[in-house]
Structure 1
Amino acid sequence: MDKIAVLIPCYNEEQTIEKVIKDSKAALPDAVIYVYDNNSTDRTSEIAKANGAVVRHEYVQGKGNVIRRMFREIDAECYVMVDGDDTYPMDAAPGMCSLVLEKNADMVVGDRLSSTYFTENKRPFHNFGNSLVRGSINRLFDCDIRDVMTGFRAFSYEFAKTFPVLSTGFEIETEMTIHAVNNHMQIENYIIEFRDRPAGSESKLNTYSDGMRVLMTIARLYRDYKPMGFFSIVSLILAVISLVFFIPIFAEYLETGLVAKFPTLIVCGFVMLAAVLSLFAGMILHNLTINHRREFEMRLISLHSEKKRLMRNS
């Protein structure tokens, strides 16, 4: 079992990977550095291996798939995940690791948005998207995460081995954040400096398509983790629609004693029935999520014992 494992997911980062590895070694000299190549067509793997990193491969495309394999294959007391594009300062890594190893943090978020991100990043829609995602998650899940989309994080063993990776792409950071928040894991925000990619290095993130996938992921996870809130909103919307069309019919009935729009009245009844069913669905799923939380806590207890055993054997 490694004390600290630096995890670097890479796709065509030959221009910057050498510097990221050297900075990682300088900041964390005792760490094991793993570079996971995700079907790069350049010399990323070759350069990483020449600089002393442990190079492994994930052949299914997508950052989420890479992280799934990383967490599955590597056992460590502390995991540091950093992108291979040299936009994050590795000199912040020791401080982030200390929060995991000494303060029992489960996830440390490298917070770019509280420092230089908005001045360094040259893509205005990325700035807007980061603010939108952060605000949505903090409001929906009642938390205070300063940077949801950052690719620089530190994790505990318990987090890595309980995180169910469902996403395949860049929405994985959003999924990580919500998993930690929903399960009341200890989260720390750690302010870091951010620098834009060097000239010639291109971002793999598509502002519009990946941004939409992130927003859809937030909606899906809110439904899964907070079903009472999600289905209450659906129920309220359906009830309002039903009442909007029902009130004129009822007013006409009070005035004339006749119902002139029976089809509309029938549809209103079915829509209101759907609203009631949605509310009850939320209540049932809410009880199921409570049971899942109990099972999760028991899983954490067994993982703690497993971690101690691995540490003794390493």
Structure 2
Amino acid sequence: MEYDDVCVLVPTYNEAETIGRVVDDFRSAGFEDILVVDGHSEDGTDEVAAEHGARVVYQSGSGKGQAVREGIRDHVDREYVLMLDGDGTYRVEDAEAMLEPLLAGDAEHVIGNRFADLREGAMTRFNQFGNRVINRGFAFVHGENFGDILSGYRAFTRESFLRMTLSSDGFGVETEMAVECAKHQIPTTVVPISYLPRPSGSDTNLRPIRDGGIIFLELYRRAKTNNPLFYFGSLGVLSTVSGAIIAAYVLVEWITVRVPHEILAVVSGFGIIVGVQLLMFGVLADLVLSLHRETLQKIEEENGSE
């Protein structure tokens, strides 16, 4: 397989122990353009990558998401991008399977499913549980099952990436990309890959609790434009149920001990009214979104028939 139109993008931060082998593996496989976007590492990652033949640039900000956006926007001019982490957990042997759907024109975005061959010690049980919860939550909220939305092994066309609206600076970038694929109906394929344990001496930059919370918030926040019925409906149900519980308490107190709670009564009424309004707004927003998608689909069909 020819890789002349492929740029291998590797965002890094303190990966000196592994980046050299990663670059060597991909150069040996025939990849000529290997771009390492370094987040101002303190262990000489940039020097090691350059010594092994990678093209090294430095991101202006911090975080994986910012590195990916800036790297593709400012330093990639090839048609296809193969993105992976520099920690040695992804295999170059899976690169061909990742790129094949793109080069064949069958997809514009490819996600490597780590759970297809999760090697022993590659992921803690806690992280496995968190990943599966997030994936199921994504499928429920956004209506697509991409198998492993947190996978760092991605292949995509540069054009499809530039159509995405991404703002996350950290590890939430993979979640954002998955949501944007669902939102813009970018043809997406999931392929099985192997996921290896990090080599000894290599420390992870992932903080499961903190980064997991950020990812959950990102999933919910992005539902506002991709699934407004869920976003506003969940807020509406929460407000309505809270108001109803307060109202029940006020009623019980009045019946049993004749103690009035005027302020709580007002709060409960406000909560119920706001909740119902949010539910109605969610239904209307979902209707508008459905009409918008149907209109876009008709426009694309008309343009395709010309």
Same-fold call, TM > 0.5? yes
1:48–1:55 contact (8 Å) kept in structure 2: yes
Q: What is the TM-score normalised by the length of structure 1?
A: 0.84
Structure 2 partner of 1:310: none
User: Where in structure 2 are the equivalents of 1:106-185 lying within 5 Å?
Assistant: 106-117=108-119, 119-185=120-186
Structure 1 partner of 2:93: 91
CA offsets per residue over residues 168-217 of structure 1, 9 Å max, x none? 10111111111112222111111111111110000010121112111111
3-state SS in 2 of match to 1:70: helix
1:23–1:91 contact (8 Å) kept in structure 2: no
What displacement does 1:240 show? Answer: 2.2
Tell me the amino acid that sits aligned with residue 193 of structure 1.
Answer: S
Find the partner of 2:13 among 4, 11, 17. 11
CA–CA distance in structure 2, aligned partners of residues 76 and 295 of structure 1: 32
What displacement does 1:85 show? Answer: 0.8
Tell me the amino acid that sits aligned with residue 42 of structure 1.
Answer: D
2:72–2:158 contact (8 Å) kept in structure 1: no
3-state SS in 1 of match to 2:6: strand
2:59–2:71 contact (8 Å) kept in structure 1: no
User: Where in structure 2 are the equivalents of 1:165-314 lying within 5 Å?
Assistant: 165-247=166-248, 260-283=260-283, 285-286=285-286, 289=289
Tell me the amino acid that sits aligned with residue 12 of structure 2.
Answer: C
3-state SS in 2 of match to 1:192: strand
CA offsets per residue over residues 30-73 of structure 1, 9 Å max, x none? 54111111101122212222222111110311001101102212
**Matched residue pairs, number?**
297
Tell me the amino acid that sits aligned with residue 93 of structure 2.
Answer: D
What displacement does 1:11 show? Answer: 0.9
Structure 1 partner of 2:81: 79
Does the C-alpha gap of structure 1 residues 16 and 259 become closer, same or farther in structure 2, counting only changes over 3 Å?
Answer: closer
Tell me the amino acid that sits aligned with residue 92 of structure 1.
Answer: D
Gaps of 5+ in 1: 302-314
CA–CA distance in structure 2, aligned partners of residues 281 and 37 of structure 1: 44
Matched, 1:46 2:47: yes
CA–CA distance in structure 1, aligned partners of residues 162 and 104 of structure 2: 19
Does the C-alpha gap of structure 1 residues 46 and 259 become closer, same or farther in structure 2, counting only changes over 3 Å?
Answer: closer
2:142–2:182 contact (8 Å) kept in structure 1: yes
Does the C-alpha gap of structure 1 residues 170 and 251 become closer, same or farther in structure 2, counting only changes over 3 Å?
Answer: closer
2:8–2:31 contact (8 Å) kept in structure 1: no
Does the C-alpha gap of structure 1 residues 296 and 163 become closer, same or farther in structure 2, counting only changes over 3 Å?
Answer: farther
Does the C-alpha gap of structure 1 residues 21 and 273 become closer, same or farther in structure 2, counting only changes over 3 Å?
Answer: same
Provide the alpha-carbon RMSD of the alignment.
3.0
What displacement does 1:246 show? Answer: 3.3
2:10–2:83 contact (8 Å) kept in structure 1: yes
What displacement does 1:237 show? Answer: 2.1
Larger deviation, residues 95-104 vs 168-177: 95-104
3-state SS in 1 of match to 2:107: coil
Tell me the amino acid that sits aligned with residue 191 of structure 2.
Answer: Y
CA–CA distance in structure 2, aligned partners of residues 128 and 79 of structure 1: 30
3-state SS in 2 of match to 1:113: strand
CA–CA distance in structure 2, aligned partners of residues 137 and 31 of structure 1: 35
3-state SS in 2 of match to 1:144: coil
3-state SS in 2 of match to 1:147: coil
1:171–1:214 contact (8 Å) kept in structure 2: yes
Identity of aligned residues (%): 28
3-state SS in 1 of match to 2:195: coil
User: Where in structure 2 are the equivalents of 1:17-56 lying within 5 Å?
Assistant: 17-27=19-29, 29-56=30-57
Tell me the amino acid that sits aligned with residue 98 of structure 1.
Answer: E
1:120–1:194 contact (8 Å) kept in structure 2: no
Q: What is the TM-score normalised by the length of structure 2?
A: 0.86
CA–CA distance in structure 1, aligned partners of residues 111 and 171 of structure 2: 16
What displacement does 1:152 show? Answer: 0.6
Gaps of 5+ in 2: 302-306
What displacement does 1:110 show? Answer: 0.9
